[in-house]
Structure 1
């Protein structure tokens, strides 16, 4: 099995999975495609490590994220939301957790972007699942942002010392808590790569590792920041049109949500998965948002 780690090849052989081959890969996970013993096409997702230690996520257990992927799929599918069906979890010989899902056929064409916006609105109208997402750490969203944004920003400042400063964590939490918000499930990684589409329709939304529960404005703010990067392949205007923009922007809160996304992306491009072609513009975007935040912080 060319390009397949030996430990995964061994597990595949034991499970009767044939023709396993690399399909895609990200910062934290590798994804492979194979054929099950009954001829069914499968997707196998394996982490690069048992525990992730990056500038954005320190000490996050891969098993917990794979468990979350399964829980989200099993919770959303009965409600008609398009997800990939999870078939089971296993471990390699060295103990790495592996998630096996049913393969979802897709093509390279763009989806109807307005329907993507409507799909997000549908997601946000559902009751939030329990237990909460892994990266929420049991906190309300305002408290989580007030904790992680300054922590990540300090790591970014170590790489880019001239960025300026943030309000205090307590002040951030207070401002976000003032904004009326539903407690919705947020995907928070809406990119073309995470939308499996065929014939213009979204067949499955994948990769729920970044999910949180809280203000839907955060989803729209992060989507907007992602849309600034061409390779994410998003049409922000049509997505917002399909969503119907029922969650109007809220000044400081929206800026904080955008800054949370921009700082995360800057750390990715500078440290986690270096991209010298994208890092300068992303760092400049952080500086721009800091100026906007300072101007609106009254």
Structure 2
């Protein structure tokens, strides 16, 4: 969704923000528009959903409120409303910049920020999922995996007893830092309840084979260092990952289903994801 297609000042008026706020577009995602809003000495984030996405908005609002109540650095929902059938949230503006931007400017922080990145994801998984999500504790298994019955059956057999909060889009562009600490976690649209290994596998798949994260060789080497630090930071809190083959298969499948519409005219962009997924599928002995 392009911010230029919308009228942020009208949307802000709908939310009760009058006067002369300054709204600056920022990157908001494939089906989301977002602005940085400056008004009466305060800075907020305006997040506008696609037409009719009322359940998605309510879902994200509930998850953020639960995560924030548990002590995670998550935006506060200041106002919520609807403009021309588009749900909108006005959120508190979190300090810092994305981990991706910080590492681009200061690559020597790969290791320390990787440790912090893993530690924060472990903190998310230490939180029981909110009641709204606990009603569907295995919803993550079928998410973006239509038709993969053998995979789904294997995951149901393998999933653990813990029903944790899963972010399911935990990557370098959705986590903020001041250069030393993690200052924010944003974009909770995909959040579900379930086995923490699913969220771990999802993060690995994005770091490894998401076309949006594909980088030149030197940057890829840096990402491998970052990934190793992330694993250490996470495992210090929650122990080593176990029985991950099926979870990696699931995560690779999710990337392919999720991004297929975006790359329908250039399907070869998803070839690395297909190879990665097939490798783990073979290792897990999981056939379609």
Aligned pairs for 1:85-100 within 5 A: 85-92=76-83, 94-100=84-90
Q: Is the 8 A contact 1:90 1:97 kept in 2?
A: yes
* TM-score after normalising by structure 2: 0.78
Q: 1:221 to 1:11 in 2, by over 3 A?
A: closer
Summarize deviations over 1:101-145 as a string: whole Å, max 9, x none: 112232331472211211122222222211117xxxx4332x751
Please state whether the residue corresponding to 1:21 is helix, strand or coil.
strand
Aligned pairs for 1:254-265 within 5 A: 254-265=244-255
Is 1:109 matched with 2:102? yes
Q: How far apart, CA to CA, are the structure 2 residues paired with 1:114 and 1:126?
A: 19
- Per-residue deviation, 1:76: 2.4
Alignment root-mean-square deviation, CA:
2.8
Q: How far apart, CA to CA, are the structure 2 residues paired with 1:77 and 1:149?
A: 27
Q: Is the 8 A contact 1:4 1:21 kept in 2?
A: no
Give the match for residue 237 of structure 1.
Answer: 228
Please state whether the residue corresponding to 1:31 is helix, strand or coil.
strand
Is 1:30 matched with 2:23? no
Aligned pairs for 1:116-135 within 5 A: 116-132=117-133
Q: 1:148 to 1:113 in 2, by over 3 A?
A: closer
Q: 1:122 to 1:148 in 2, by over 3 A?
A: closer
Aligned pairs for 1:244-283 within 5 A: 244=235, 246-251=238-243, 254-274=244-264, 276=267, 278-283=269-274
Q: How far apart, CA to CA, are the structure 2 residues paired with 1:229 and 1:173?
A: 21
Summarize deviations over 1:211-240 as a string: whole Å, max 9, x none: 121211112111111120475468221111
Is 1:140 matched with 2:130? no
Give the match for residue 216 of structure 1.
Answer: 196
Q: Is the 8 A contact 2:235 2:241 kept in 1?
A: no
* Number of residue pairs aligned between Structure 1 and Structure 2: 259
Aligned pairs for 1:150-189 within 5 A: 150-151=145-146, 153=148, 167=150, 169=152, 171-172=153-154, 174-176=156-158, 179-189=159-169
Q: What runs of 5+ residues in structure 2 fail to find an aligned partner?
A: 104-111, 214-222
Q: Is the 8 A contact 2:201 2:248 kept in 1?
A: yes
* TM-score after normalising by structure 1: 0.76
Please state whether the residue corresponding to 1:289 is helix, strand or coil.
helix
Give the match for residue 220 of structure 2.
Answer: none
Summarize deviations over 1:68-116 as a string: whole Å, max 9, x none: 3222222222332111121110111x12110111122323314722112
Q: 1:129 to 1:13 in 2, by over 3 A?
A: closer
Q: How far apart, CA to CA, are the structure 2 residues paired with 1:106 and 1:150?
A: 35
Q: 1:124 to 1:268 in 2, by over 3 A?
A: closer
